[in-house]
Chains A and B, each alone.
Chain A
Protein backbone atom coordinates (compact mmCIF):
# COMPACT_ATOMS: atom_id res chain seq x y z
CA UNK A 1 0.00 0.00 0.00
CA UNK A 2 2.95 2.32 0.60
CA UNK A 3 3.98 1.96 -3.04
CA UNK A 4 0.43 2.61 -4.22
CA UNK A 5 0.27 5.72 -2.01
CA UNK A 6 3.63 6.95 -3.33
CA UNK A 7 2.56 6.54 -6.97
CA UNK A 8 -0.78 8.23 -6.26
CA UNK A 9 0.86 11.01 -4.22
CA UNK A 10 3.20 11.77 -7.08
CA UNK A 11 0.29 12.48 -9.44
CA UNK A 12 -1.42 14.77 -6.95
CA UNK A 13 1.84 16.62 -6.32
CA UNK A 14 2.36 17.14 -10.05
CA UNK A 15 -1.16 18.60 -10.34
CA UNK A 16 -0.69 20.97 -7.40
CA UNK A 17 2.60 22.22 -8.89
CA UNK A 18 1.16 22.88 -12.33
CA UNK A 19 -0.22 26.47 -12.37
CA UNK A 20 -1.77 25.97 -15.80
CA UNK A 21 -3.87 23.03 -14.66
CA UNK A 22 -4.88 24.83 -11.47
CA UNK A 23 -6.09 27.88 -13.40
CA UNK A 24 -7.91 25.65 -15.89
CA UNK A 25 -9.63 23.85 -13.01
CA UNK A 26 -11.29 27.18 -12.06
CA UNK A 27 -11.78 28.77 -15.48
CA UNK A 28 -13.30 25.70 -17.17
CA UNK A 29 -16.21 25.20 -14.73
CA UNK A 30 -16.83 28.96 -14.67
CA UNK A 31 -17.13 28.97 -18.46
CA UNK A 32 -19.26 25.84 -18.60
CA UNK A 33 -21.71 26.61 -15.78
CA UNK A 34 -21.92 30.43 -15.84
CA UNK A 35 -21.59 30.98 -19.57
CA UNK A 36 -22.87 27.83 -21.27
CA UNK A 37 -25.36 26.75 -18.59
CA UNK A 38 -26.59 30.30 -18.04
CA UNK A 39 -27.08 30.94 -21.77
CA UNK A 40 -28.92 27.66 -22.32
CA UNK A 41 -31.16 28.29 -19.32
CA UNK A 42 -32.13 31.76 -20.52
CA UNK A 43 -32.91 30.64 -24.08
CA UNK A 44 -34.10 27.04 -23.72
CA UNK A 45 -34.90 26.50 -20.05
CA UNK A 46 -38.60 27.18 -20.23
CA UNK A 47 -39.11 25.15 -23.40
CA UNK A 48 -37.15 22.17 -22.10
CA UNK A 49 -38.96 22.11 -18.80
CA UNK A 50 -35.88 21.69 -16.60
CA UNK A 51 -33.05 23.76 -15.17
CA UNK A 52 -30.22 23.88 -17.73
CA UNK A 53 -27.70 25.13 -15.16
CA UNK A 54 -28.24 21.98 -13.10
CA UNK A 55 -28.19 19.93 -16.30
CA UNK A 56 -24.85 21.30 -17.51
CA UNK A 57 -23.40 21.18 -13.98
CA UNK A 58 -24.12 17.47 -13.62
CA UNK A 59 -22.98 16.78 -17.19
CA UNK A 60 -19.64 18.50 -16.84
CA UNK A 61 -19.14 17.15 -13.32
CA UNK A 62 -19.47 13.55 -14.52
CA UNK A 63 -17.53 14.19 -17.72
CA UNK A 64 -14.63 15.84 -15.88
CA UNK A 65 -14.34 13.03 -13.32
CA UNK A 66 -14.43 10.37 -16.01
CA UNK A 67 -12.28 12.01 -18.65
CA UNK A 68 -9.69 13.54 -16.32
CA UNK A 69 -8.91 10.15 -14.79
CA UNK A 70 -8.88 8.43 -18.17
CA UNK A 71 -6.50 11.01 -19.61
CA UNK A 72 -4.39 10.91 -16.47
CA UNK A 73 -3.73 7.24 -17.12
CA UNK A 74 -2.08 8.23 -20.37
CA UNK A 75 0.64 9.87 -18.30
CA UNK A 76 1.96 6.32 -18.09
CA UNK A 77 2.65 6.86 -21.77
CA UNK A 78 4.42 10.14 -21.04
CA UNK A 79 6.35 8.46 -18.24
CA UNK A 80 7.54 5.81 -20.64
CA UNK A 81 8.53 8.54 -23.09
CA UNK A 82 10.37 10.42 -20.34
CA UNK A 83 11.76 7.15 -19.02
CA UNK A 84 10.33 7.56 -15.52
CA UNK A 85 8.38 4.37 -16.22
CA UNK A 86 11.70 2.53 -16.29
CA UNK A 87 12.13 3.45 -12.64
CA UNK A 88 8.65 2.11 -11.89
CA UNK A 89 9.04 -1.06 -13.89
CA UNK A 90 12.40 -2.14 -12.45
CA UNK A 91 11.19 -1.65 -8.88
CA UNK A 92 9.95 -4.64 -6.85
CA UNK A 93 6.35 -3.44 -7.10
CA UNK A 94 3.71 -5.47 -8.91
CA UNK A 95 2.33 -4.06 -12.16
CA UNK A 96 -1.11 -4.22 -10.60
CA UNK A 97 0.05 -1.89 -7.81
CA UNK A 98 1.43 0.52 -10.42
CA UNK A 99 -1.91 0.60 -12.25
CA UNK A 100 -3.90 0.88 -9.01
CA UNK A 101 -1.64 3.69 -7.78
CA UNK A 102 -2.07 5.58 -11.05
CA UNK A 103 -5.86 5.27 -10.90
CA UNK A 104 -5.96 6.41 -7.27
CA UNK A 105 -3.67 9.36 -8.00
CA UNK A 106 -5.66 10.48 -11.01
CA UNK A 107 -8.87 10.05 -9.01
CA UNK A 108 -7.52 12.45 -6.39
CA UNK A 109 -6.59 14.91 -9.16
CA UNK A 110 -10.02 14.65 -10.80
CA UNK A 111 -11.84 15.15 -7.49
CA UNK A 112 -9.70 18.23 -6.79
CA UNK A 113 -10.56 19.54 -10.26
CA UNK A 114 -14.34 19.30 -9.73
CA UNK A 115 -14.45 21.13 -6.40
CA UNK A 116 -14.81 24.52 -8.17
CA UNK A 117 -17.77 23.03 -10.13
CA UNK A 118 -19.61 22.37 -6.88
CA UNK A 119 -18.79 25.85 -5.56
CA UNK A 120 -20.09 27.53 -8.74
CA UNK A 121 -23.21 25.32 -8.71
CA UNK A 122 -24.01 26.39 -5.15
CA UNK A 123 -23.46 30.06 -6.09
CA UNK A 124 -25.91 29.65 -9.00
CA UNK A 125 -28.47 28.05 -6.66
CA UNK A 126 -28.45 24.56 -8.07
CA UNK A 127 -30.40 22.78 -5.31
CA UNK A 128 -27.55 20.84 -3.66
CA UNK A 129 -28.23 19.65 -0.12
CA UNK A 130 -25.61 18.12 2.17
CA UNK A 131 -27.22 14.75 1.35
CA UNK A 132 -26.68 15.37 -2.36
CA UNK A 133 -23.04 16.25 -1.76
CA UNK A 134 -22.54 13.21 0.48
CA UNK A 135 -24.04 10.95 -2.21
CA UNK A 136 -21.88 12.57 -4.89
CA UNK A 137 -18.72 11.34 -3.12
CA UNK A 138 -19.20 7.62 -3.95
CA UNK A 139 -20.56 8.61 -7.37
CA UNK A 140 -17.38 10.61 -8.01
CA UNK A 141 -15.18 7.72 -6.93
CA UNK A 142 -17.05 5.25 -9.15
CA UNK A 143 -16.89 7.70 -12.08
CA UNK A 144 -13.15 8.13 -11.62
CA UNK A 145 -12.50 4.39 -11.32
CA UNK A 146 -14.54 3.86 -14.47
CA UNK A 147 -12.49 6.54 -16.25
CA UNK A 148 -9.25 4.99 -15.00
CA UNK A 149 -10.21 1.53 -16.26
CA UNK A 150 -11.33 3.00 -19.60
CA UNK A 151 -8.07 4.99 -19.91
CA UNK A 152 -6.03 1.89 -19.11
CA UNK A 153 -7.77 -0.04 -21.86
CA UNK A 154 -7.16 2.78 -24.33
CA UNK A 155 -3.53 3.04 -23.24
CA UNK A 156 -2.90 -0.40 -24.69
CA UNK A 157 -3.87 0.81 -28.15
CA UNK A 158 -1.38 3.69 -28.16
CA UNK A 159 2.20 3.72 -29.31
CA UNK A 160 3.19 7.20 -28.09
CA UNK A 161 1.78 10.31 -26.43
CA UNK A 162 0.95 11.91 -29.78
CA UNK A 163 -1.19 8.90 -30.67
CA UNK A 164 -2.85 9.21 -27.27
CA UNK A 165 -3.98 12.76 -28.07
CA UNK A 166 -5.44 11.67 -31.40
CA UNK A 167 -7.22 8.68 -29.92
CA UNK A 168 -8.67 10.75 -27.10
CA UNK A 169 -10.11 13.29 -29.50
CA UNK A 170 -11.58 10.47 -31.52
CA UNK A 171 -12.96 8.58 -28.53
CA UNK A 172 -14.18 11.35 -26.22
CA UNK A 173 -15.66 13.97 -28.53
CA UNK A 174 -18.42 11.65 -29.84
CA UNK A 175 -19.25 10.65 -26.26
CA UNK A 176 -20.04 14.29 -25.39
CA UNK A 177 -23.07 14.00 -27.69
CA UNK A 178 -23.86 10.33 -27.12
CA UNK A 179 -23.82 10.75 -23.33
CA UNK A 180 -26.01 13.86 -23.28
CA UNK A 181 -23.37 16.15 -21.88
CA UNK A 182 -25.01 19.39 -23.04
CA UNK A 183 -28.28 18.37 -24.68
CA UNK A 184 -30.82 15.71 -23.62
CA UNK A 185 -30.73 12.37 -25.46
CA UNK A 186 -34.17 11.06 -24.56
CA UNK A 187 -34.93 10.86 -28.31
CA UNK A 188 -32.22 9.46 -30.62
CA UNK A 189 -32.29 7.59 -33.95
CA UNK A 190 -31.76 3.83 -33.38
CA UNK A 191 -28.12 3.81 -34.57
CA UNK A 192 -27.15 6.68 -32.26
CA UNK A 193 -29.15 5.10 -29.42
CA UNK A 194 -27.09 1.91 -29.90
CA UNK A 195 -23.83 3.86 -29.82
CA UNK A 196 -25.05 5.78 -26.77
CA UNK A 197 -25.70 2.51 -24.91
CA UNK A 198 -22.05 1.43 -25.29
CA UNK A 199 -20.71 4.83 -24.28
CA UNK A 200 -19.33 4.60 -20.68
CA UNK A 201 -19.67 8.37 -20.21
CA UNK A 202 -23.46 8.08 -20.59
CA UNK A 203 -23.75 6.02 -17.40
CA UNK A 204 -21.39 8.29 -15.44
CA UNK A 205 -23.34 11.45 -16.35
CA UNK A 206 -26.72 9.81 -15.92
CA UNK A 207 -25.78 8.51 -12.46
CA UNK A 208 -24.64 12.00 -11.44
CA UNK A 209 -27.93 13.47 -12.66
CA UNK A 210 -29.87 10.71 -10.95
CA UNK A 211 -28.37 11.75 -7.61
CA UNK A 212 -28.66 15.53 -8.05
CA UNK A 213 -32.17 15.54 -9.53
CA UNK A 214 -33.52 12.80 -7.22
CA UNK A 215 -36.93 13.79 -5.81
CA UNK A 216 -37.34 16.79 -8.13
CA UNK A 217 -40.16 17.30 -10.62
CA UNK A 218 -37.60 17.43 -13.46
CA UNK A 219 -36.22 13.95 -12.71
CA UNK A 220 -38.12 12.07 -15.43
CA UNK A 221 -37.21 14.63 -18.10
CA UNK A 222 -33.50 14.62 -17.25
CA UNK A 223 -32.55 11.13 -16.02
CA UNK A 224 -32.45 8.17 -18.42
CA UNK A 225 -32.18 5.20 -16.06
CA UNK A 226 -32.49 4.47 -12.34
CA UNK A 227 -29.26 5.15 -10.40
CA UNK A 228 -28.95 1.50 -9.36
CA UNK A 229 -29.11 0.44 -13.02
CA UNK A 230 -26.33 2.89 -13.85
CA UNK A 231 -24.27 1.66 -10.89
CA UNK A 232 -24.71 -1.94 -12.06
CA UNK A 233 -23.61 -1.14 -15.62
CA UNK A 234 -20.65 0.90 -14.41
CA UNK A 235 -19.45 -1.82 -12.01
CA UNK A 236 -19.69 -4.41 -14.79
CA UNK A 237 -17.89 -2.18 -17.31
CA UNK A 238 -15.23 -1.31 -14.72
CA UNK A 239 -14.55 -4.98 -14.00
CA UNK A 240 -14.28 -5.90 -17.69
CA UNK A 241 -12.14 -2.88 -18.65
CA UNK A 242 -9.90 -3.23 -15.61
CA UNK A 243 -9.16 -6.93 -16.08
CA UNK A 244 -8.64 -6.60 -19.84
CA UNK A 245 -6.66 -3.35 -19.54
CA UNK A 246 -4.34 -4.53 -16.78
CA UNK A 247 -3.71 -7.89 -18.43
CA UNK A 248 -2.87 -6.25 -21.76
CA UNK A 249 -0.75 -3.58 -20.09
CA UNK A 250 1.36 -6.03 -18.07
CA UNK A 251 1.79 -8.32 -21.06
CA UNK A 252 2.74 -5.46 -23.34
CA UNK A 253 5.28 -4.03 -20.91
CA UNK A 254 7.12 -7.29 -20.28
CA UNK A 255 6.71 -9.08 -23.58
CA UNK A 256 7.96 -6.52 -26.05
Chain B
Protein backbone atom coordinates (compact mmCIF):
# COMPACT_ATOMS: atom_id res chain seq x y z
CA UNK B 1 0.00 0.00 0.00
CA UNK B 2 1.30 3.47 -0.88
CA UNK B 3 2.15 5.41 2.29
CA UNK B 4 0.07 8.49 2.95
CA UNK B 5 3.28 10.36 3.76
CA UNK B 6 6.74 9.22 2.68
CA UNK B 7 9.77 11.27 3.75
CA UNK B 8 13.29 10.22 2.73
CA UNK B 9 16.53 11.93 3.82
CA UNK B 10 14.83 15.31 3.95
CA UNK B 11 17.18 18.28 4.32
CA UNK B 12 16.25 21.96 4.45
CA UNK B 13 18.66 24.82 4.82
CA UNK B 14 17.20 28.33 4.61
CA UNK B 15 18.89 30.75 2.27
CA UNK B 16 20.43 32.77 5.09
CA UNK B 17 20.86 29.79 7.42
CA UNK B 18 24.21 28.45 8.58
CA UNK B 19 22.84 25.08 9.73
CA UNK B 20 20.20 22.72 8.40
CA UNK B 21 16.76 23.38 9.89
CA UNK B 22 15.86 19.80 8.91
CA UNK B 23 18.76 17.40 8.61
CA UNK B 24 18.24 13.96 7.09
CA UNK B 25 14.72 13.21 8.34
CA UNK B 26 13.11 9.92 7.23
CA UNK B 27 9.71 8.50 8.18
CA UNK B 28 6.55 6.96 6.71
CA UNK B 29 2.91 7.36 7.69
CA UNK B 30 0.43 4.71 6.61
CA UNK B 31 -3.03 5.70 5.34
CA UNK B 32 -5.53 6.30 8.14
CA UNK B 33 -2.85 6.61 10.82
CA UNK B 34 -2.73 9.31 13.47
CA UNK B 35 0.88 10.49 13.39
CA UNK B 36 2.39 13.03 15.78
CA UNK B 37 5.48 15.10 15.04
CA UNK B 38 6.96 16.36 18.30
CA UNK B 39 9.92 18.45 19.34
CA UNK B 40 10.96 21.66 21.09
CA UNK B 41 10.92 25.08 19.41
CA UNK B 42 13.39 25.12 16.53
CA UNK B 43 13.39 21.34 16.17
CA UNK B 44 12.25 21.53 12.55
CA UNK B 45 8.58 20.58 12.91
CA UNK B 46 7.05 23.60 11.20
CA UNK B 47 9.69 23.51 8.45
CA UNK B 48 8.88 19.84 7.84
CA UNK B 49 5.15 20.56 7.71
CA UNK B 50 5.75 23.50 5.33
CA UNK B 51 7.64 21.18 2.96
CA UNK B 52 5.00 18.45 3.27
CA UNK B 53 2.31 20.99 2.36
CA UNK B 54 4.32 22.44 -0.60
CA UNK B 55 4.81 25.96 0.77
CA UNK B 56 8.56 25.40 1.06
CA UNK B 57 10.93 23.55 -1.24
CA UNK B 58 13.37 21.02 0.25
CA UNK B 59 17.11 21.48 -0.16
CA UNK B 60 17.45 17.74 -0.80
CA UNK B 61 15.64 14.48 -0.19
CA UNK B 62 12.24 13.31 -1.39
CA UNK B 63 8.76 13.77 0.05
CA UNK B 64 5.65 12.08 -1.34
CA UNK B 65 2.05 12.54 -0.28
CA UNK B 66 -0.17 9.64 -1.40
CA UNK B 67 2.55 8.79 -3.92
CA UNK B 68 2.85 12.32 -5.36
CA UNK B 69 6.14 14.20 -5.18
CA UNK B 70 5.74 17.53 -3.35
CA UNK B 71 8.07 19.35 -5.76
CA UNK B 72 7.20 17.87 -9.15
CA UNK B 73 3.51 17.24 -8.47
CA UNK B 74 2.75 20.08 -6.08
CA UNK B 75 -0.72 20.71 -7.47
CA UNK B 76 -1.70 17.04 -7.01
CA UNK B 77 -0.37 17.14 -3.46
CA UNK B 78 -2.37 20.30 -2.67
CA UNK B 79 -5.52 18.53 -3.75
CA UNK B 80 -4.77 15.69 -1.31
CA UNK B 81 -4.03 17.66 1.83
CA UNK B 82 -5.92 19.83 4.28
CA UNK B 83 -4.17 22.07 6.76
CA UNK B 84 -5.07 23.68 10.02
CA UNK B 85 -2.31 26.19 10.57
CA UNK B 86 -0.57 27.08 13.80
CA UNK B 87 -1.76 30.69 13.47
CA UNK B 88 -5.31 31.34 12.31
CA UNK B 89 -5.30 31.71 8.54
CA UNK B 90 -8.78 33.14 8.22
CA UNK B 91 -9.67 36.43 6.58
CA UNK B 92 -11.00 38.46 9.48
CA UNK B 93 -12.80 40.88 7.16
CA UNK B 94 -15.10 38.17 5.83
CA UNK B 95 -17.75 35.94 7.34
CA UNK B 96 -17.00 32.33 8.17
CA UNK B 97 -19.06 31.17 5.20
CA UNK B 98 -17.20 33.50 2.84
CA UNK B 99 -13.89 32.07 4.02
CA UNK B 100 -15.17 28.54 3.38
CA UNK B 101 -16.60 29.56 -0.01
CA UNK B 102 -13.27 30.99 -1.19
CA UNK B 103 -11.57 27.77 -0.10
CA UNK B 104 -14.11 25.62 -1.97
CA UNK B 105 -13.59 27.65 -5.14
CA UNK B 106 -9.80 27.62 -4.84
CA UNK B 107 -10.01 23.81 -4.66
CA UNK B 108 -12.18 23.74 -7.81
CA UNK B 109 -15.11 22.20 -5.95
CA UNK B 110 -17.71 24.76 -7.03
CA UNK B 111 -17.97 27.69 -9.47
CA UNK B 112 -17.54 31.21 -8.14
CA UNK B 113 -20.69 33.01 -7.09
CA UNK B 114 -20.59 36.36 -5.28
CA UNK B 115 -23.38 35.42 -2.83
CA UNK B 116 -24.08 32.36 -0.66
CA UNK B 117 -27.62 32.00 -1.94
CA UNK B 118 -26.31 31.81 -5.52
CA UNK B 119 -23.94 28.93 -4.68
CA UNK B 120 -24.97 25.41 -5.78
CA UNK B 121 -27.23 23.45 -3.43
CA UNK B 122 -24.50 20.83 -2.95
CA UNK B 123 -22.19 23.47 -1.49
CA UNK B 124 -24.85 24.81 0.87
CA UNK B 125 -25.69 21.26 2.01
CA UNK B 126 -22.03 20.37 2.60
CA UNK B 127 -21.39 23.57 4.53
CA UNK B 128 -24.44 23.08 6.76
CA UNK B 129 -23.50 19.46 7.42
CA UNK B 130 -19.90 20.24 8.39
CA UNK B 131 -21.00 23.23 10.49
CA UNK B 132 -23.33 20.92 12.42
CA UNK B 133 -20.66 18.24 12.83
CA UNK B 134 -18.25 20.66 14.51
CA UNK B 135 -21.04 22.36 16.45
CA UNK B 136 -20.73 25.74 14.74
CA UNK B 137 -24.24 25.74 13.28
CA UNK B 138 -25.54 29.10 12.05
CA UNK B 139 -22.54 30.91 13.58
CA UNK B 140 -20.69 30.01 10.38
CA UNK B 141 -22.45 32.99 8.78
CA UNK B 142 -21.08 35.49 11.33
CA UNK B 143 -18.07 37.73 10.64
CA UNK B 144 -14.92 35.86 11.67
CA UNK B 145 -13.81 38.69 13.95
CA UNK B 146 -16.93 38.08 16.06
CA UNK B 147 -16.16 34.38 16.59
CA UNK B 148 -14.23 33.13 19.66
CA UNK B 149 -10.85 31.43 19.25
CA UNK B 150 -12.45 28.01 19.60
CA UNK B 151 -15.09 28.81 17.00
CA UNK B 152 -12.44 30.07 14.61
CA UNK B 153 -10.60 26.78 14.99
CA UNK B 154 -13.80 24.91 14.20
CA UNK B 155 -14.24 27.09 11.14
CA UNK B 156 -10.74 26.20 10.01
CA UNK B 157 -11.61 22.52 10.43
CA UNK B 158 -14.70 22.95 8.25
CA UNK B 159 -12.59 24.69 5.65
CA UNK B 160 -9.84 22.07 5.85
CA UNK B 161 -12.33 19.24 5.29
CA UNK B 162 -14.37 20.77 2.46
CA UNK B 163 -12.30 19.14 -0.28
CA UNK B 164 -12.19 15.71 1.46
CA UNK B 165 -8.42 15.66 2.04
CA UNK B 166 -6.73 12.29 2.42
CA UNK B 167 -4.15 13.78 4.76
CA UNK B 168 -5.00 16.43 7.36
CA UNK B 169 -2.10 18.41 8.83
CA UNK B 170 -2.74 19.94 12.23
CA UNK B 171 0.02 22.38 13.17
CA UNK B 172 -0.45 23.01 16.89
CA UNK B 173 -4.22 23.20 16.43
CA UNK B 174 -5.05 23.81 20.08
CA UNK B 175 -2.62 26.65 20.75
CA UNK B 176 -4.49 29.52 22.37
CA UNK B 177 -7.55 27.42 23.21
CA UNK B 178 -8.97 26.92 26.69
CA UNK B 179 -9.28 23.44 28.20
CA UNK B 180 -12.92 22.93 27.24
CA UNK B 181 -12.42 24.08 23.65
CA UNK B 182 -9.33 21.89 23.37
CA UNK B 183 -11.19 18.80 24.55
CA UNK B 184 -14.14 19.50 22.25
CA UNK B 185 -11.83 20.00 19.31
CA UNK B 186 -10.18 16.60 19.83
CA UNK B 187 -13.58 14.97 20.11
CA UNK B 188 -14.56 16.48 16.76
CA UNK B 189 -11.29 15.49 15.12
CA UNK B 190 -11.61 11.94 16.44
CA UNK B 191 -15.14 11.69 15.10
CA UNK B 192 -14.17 13.12 11.72
CA UNK B 193 -11.26 10.70 11.51
CA UNK B 194 -13.53 7.74 12.14
CA UNK B 195 -16.10 8.98 9.64
CA UNK B 196 -13.79 9.91 6.79
CA UNK B 197 -10.75 7.62 7.40
CA UNK B 198 -8.36 10.56 7.16
CA UNK B 199 -4.63 10.34 7.85
CA UNK B 200 -3.75 12.89 10.52
CA UNK B 201 -0.33 14.47 10.98
CA UNK B 202 -0.17 16.50 14.18
CA UNK B 203 2.49 18.80 15.55
CA UNK B 204 1.98 19.90 19.13
CA UNK B 205 3.62 21.01 22.34
CA UNK B 206 0.78 19.38 24.32
CA UNK B 207 2.28 15.91 24.68
CA UNK B 208 -0.89 14.45 26.19
CA UNK B 209 -2.53 15.12 22.81
CA UNK B 210 0.01 12.83 21.15
CA UNK B 211 -0.62 9.93 23.59
CA UNK B 212 -3.48 8.75 21.36
CA UNK B 213 -1.33 8.76 18.21
CA UNK B 214 -0.61 5.52 16.35
CA UNK B 215 2.99 6.63 15.90
CA UNK B 216 5.11 9.52 17.09
CA UNK B 217 8.27 11.05 15.70
CA UNK B 218 10.38 13.24 17.97
CA UNK B 219 12.62 15.78 16.26
CA UNK B 220 15.46 17.68 17.87
CA UNK B 221 17.83 20.08 16.08
CA UNK B 222 16.46 18.86 12.75
CA UNK B 223 17.12 15.15 13.45
CA UNK B 224 14.77 12.26 14.24
CA UNK B 225 15.64 11.19 17.80
CA UNK B 226 12.74 8.76 18.39
CA UNK B 227 10.21 7.09 16.10
CA UNK B 228 7.55 4.49 16.85
CA UNK B 229 4.35 3.92 18.76
CA UNK B 230 4.00 5.98 21.94
CA UNK B 231 4.33 2.69 23.88
CA UNK B 232 7.56 1.79 22.05
CA UNK B 233 9.06 5.24 22.53
CA UNK B 234 8.19 5.22 26.22
CA UNK B 235 9.33 1.62 26.66
CA UNK B 236 12.77 2.32 25.19
CA UNK B 237 13.48 5.13 27.58
CA UNK B 238 11.39 4.99 30.74
CA UNK B 239 9.83 2.16 32.74
CA UNK B 240 6.79 1.66 34.92
CA UNK B 241 7.43 2.62 38.53
CA UNK B 242 6.24 1.06 41.78
CA UNK B 243 5.70 3.29 44.82
CA UNK B 244 6.05 1.46 48.17
CA UNK B 245 6.27 2.40 51.82
CA UNK B 246 6.14 0.61 55.18
CA UNK B 247 6.23 1.42 58.91
CA UNK B 248 9.53 -0.48 59.11
CA UNK B 249 11.31 1.44 56.38
CA UNK B 250 14.74 0.05 57.26
CA UNK B 251 13.51 -3.51 56.73
CA UNK B 252 11.88 -2.58 53.44
CA UNK B 253 15.09 -0.88 52.27
CA UNK B 254 17.12 -4.03 53.16
CA UNK B 255 14.68 -6.20 51.26
CA UNK B 256 14.87 -4.07 48.12
CA UNK B 257 18.67 -4.09 48.29
CA UNK B 258 18.65 -7.90 48.63
CA UNK B 259 16.42 -8.08 45.53
CA UNK B 260 18.96 -5.94 43.66
CA UNK B 261 16.23 -3.78 42.12
CA UNK B 262 16.86 -0.18 41.12
CA UNK B 263 15.07 2.21 43.50
CA UNK B 264 15.30 5.61 45.09
CA UNK B 265 13.62 7.29 48.04
CA UNK B 266 11.43 10.27 47.21
CA UNK B 267 9.46 10.22 50.45
CA UNK B 268 8.27 6.71 49.54
CA UNK B 269 10.41 4.06 47.87
CA UNK B 270 10.21 4.32 44.08
CA UNK B 271 11.17 1.10 42.30
CA UNK B 272 12.10 1.23 38.60
CA UNK B 273 10.39 -1.80 37.05
CA UNK B 274 13.04 -2.44 34.43
CA UNK B 275 12.17 -5.93 33.12
CA UNK B 276 10.17 -6.76 36.27
CA UNK B 277 6.47 -6.79 36.98
CA UNK B 278 5.00 -5.14 40.07
CA UNK B 279 3.73 -8.56 41.15
CA UNK B 280 7.26 -10.04 41.14
CA UNK B 281 8.50 -7.29 43.44
CA UNK B 282 5.56 -7.37 45.88
CA UNK B 283 5.65 -11.17 46.19
CA UNK B 284 9.22 -11.00 47.48
CA UNK B 285 8.37 -8.50 50.26
CA UNK B 286 7.15 -9.80 53.66
CA UNK B 287 6.99 -6.45 55.48
CA UNK B 288 3.47 -4.99 55.88
CA UNK B 289 3.12 -2.13 53.38
CA UNK B 290 1.49 1.20 54.11
CA UNK B 291 1.61 2.35 50.48
CA UNK B 292 1.37 0.50 47.19
CA UNK B 293 0.94 2.27 43.89
CA UNK B 294 2.13 1.76 40.31
CA UNK B 295 2.70 4.54 37.83
CA UNK B 296 3.12 4.30 34.06
CA UNK B 297 5.38 6.84 32.40
CA UNK B 298 3.86 9.41 30.09
CA UNK B 299 5.05 10.41 26.67
CA UNK B 300 6.14 13.64 28.31
CA UNK B 301 8.51 11.68 30.58
CA UNK B 302 10.06 10.00 27.55
CA UNK B 303 10.19 13.27 25.64
CA UNK B 304 12.00 15.08 28.44
CA UNK B 305 14.43 12.18 28.81
CA UNK B 306 15.21 12.25 25.08
CA UNK B 307 15.77 15.99 25.01
CA UNK B 308 17.92 15.88 28.15
CA UNK B 309 20.07 13.17 26.53
CA UNK B 310 20.38 15.31 23.41
CA UNK B 311 21.49 18.37 25.39
CA UNK B 312 24.01 16.28 27.31
Most chain A beta carbons < 10 A, residue from B15, B93, B101 = B93
Q: Would you list which residues of chain A between 73 and 90 have a CB under 8 Å from chain B?
A: 82-84, 86-90
- Are A9 and B92 interface neighbours, CB within 8 A? no
Interface size on A, residues (CB 8 A): 28
Given A13-B94, A90-B83, A83 contacting B88 (CB threshold 8 A): yes
Give chain B's interface residue range (CB within 8 Å of chain A). 35 or more
Checking B88, B93, B112 against A6 with a beta-carbon cut-off of 8 angstroms, the contacting residue is: B112
Given A2-B112, A86-B85, A87-B103, A10 contacting B91 (CB threshold 8 A): yes
Given A13-B98, A14-B93, A255-B15, A6 contacting B81 (CB threshold 8 A): no
- Are A86 and B89 interface neighbours, CB within 8 A? yes
Which of B26-34, B48-56, B209-217, B298-306 is found at the contact surface with chain A?
B48-56
- Are A254 and B56 interface neighbours, CB within 8 A? yes
- Are A3 and B105 interface neighbours, CB within 8 A? yes
Checking B14, B75, B91 against A84 with a beta-carbon cut-off of 8 angstroms, the contacting residue is: B91
Q: Complex Cα distance A7/B112, Å?
A: 10
- Are A2 and B111 interface neighbours, CB within 8 A? yes
- Are B114 and A9 interface neighbours, CB within 8 A? yes
Q: Complex Cα distance A9/B106, Å?
A: 12
User: CB-CB < 8 A to B277: which residues of A?
Assistant: none
Given A82-B92, A83-B85, A254-B57, A93 contacting B106 (CB threshold 8 A): yes
User: CB-CB < 8 A to A18: which residues of B?
Assistant: 93
Judge if A91 is at the interface, Cβ distance under 8 Å: yes
User: CB-CB < 8 A to A87: which residues of B?
Assistant: 85, 89-90, 102-103, 106, 159
- Are B106 and A88 interface neighbours, CB within 8 A? yes
User: CB-CB < 8 A to B208: which residues of A?
Assistant: none
User: CB-CB < 8 A to A86: which residues of B?
Assistant: 55, 83, 85, 89
- Are A92 and B98 interface neighbours, CB within 8 A? no
User: CB-CB < 8 A to A93: which residues of B?
Assistant: 106
Q: Would you list which residues of chain A between 1 and 55 have a CB under 8 Å from chain B?
A: 1-3, 5-7, 9-10, 13-14, 17-18
- Are B106 and A6 interface neighbours, CB within 8 A? yes
Judge if B206 is at the interface, Cβ distance under 8 Å: no
User: CB-CB < 8 A to A255: which residues of B?
Assistant: 15, 57
Name the residue of chain B whose CB is nearest to the CB of A8. B112
How far in angstroms is the closest Cβ of chain B from A101?
Answer: 10
What sequence of 0s and 1s flags, for each residue 140-153 of chain A, a beta carbon within 8 Å of any chain B beta carbon?
A: 00000000000000
Name the residue of chain A whose CB is nearest to the CB of B171. A86
What sequence of 0s and 1s flags, for each residue 90-119 of chain B, a beta carbon within 8 Å of any chain A beta carbon?
A: 111110001001110111101110100000
- Are B78 and A256 interface neighbours, CB within 8 A? no
Given A89-B55, A90-B55, A92-B78, A6 contacting B105 (CB threshold 8 A): yes
Name the residue of chain A whose CB is nearest to the CB of B99. A87
- Are B112 and A10 interface neighbours, CB within 8 A? no
Judge if B87 is at the interface, Cβ distance under 8 Å: yes
Most chain B beta carbons < 10 A, residue from A6, A13, A18 = A6
- Are B78 and A2 interface neighbours, CB within 8 A? no
- Are A90 and B53 interface neighbours, CB within 8 A? yes
Q: Would you list which residues of chain B between 174 and 192 have a CB under 8 Å from chain A?
A: none
- Are A256 and B53 interface neighbours, CB within 8 A? no
- Are A2 and B89 interface neighbours, CB within 8 A? no
Judge if B41 is at the interface, Cβ distance under 8 Å: no
Name the residue of chain A whose CB is nearest to the CB of B15. A256
Checking A6, A90, A92, A253 against B102 with a beta-carbon cut-off of 8 angstroms, the contacting residue is: A6
User: CB-CB < 8 A to B102: which residues of A?
Assistant: 6-7, 10, 87
- Are B55 and A254 interface neighbours, CB within 8 A? yes
Q: Complex Cα distance A87/B104, Å?
A: 11
- Are A3 and B88 interface neighbours, CB within 8 A? no
18 residue pairs of the A-B complex, CB under 8 angstroms, read A1-B112, A5-B112, A7-B106, A10-B94, A17-B93, A18-B93, A82-B91, A86-B89, A87-B85, A90-B53, A90-B81, A91-B107, A92-B75, A93-B106, A254-B57, A255-B57, A256-B14, A256-B15
**A-B complex: 7 closest residue pairs judged by Cβ atoms:** A91-B106, A92-B78, A6-B105, A5-B112, A83-B89, A2-B112, A83-B87
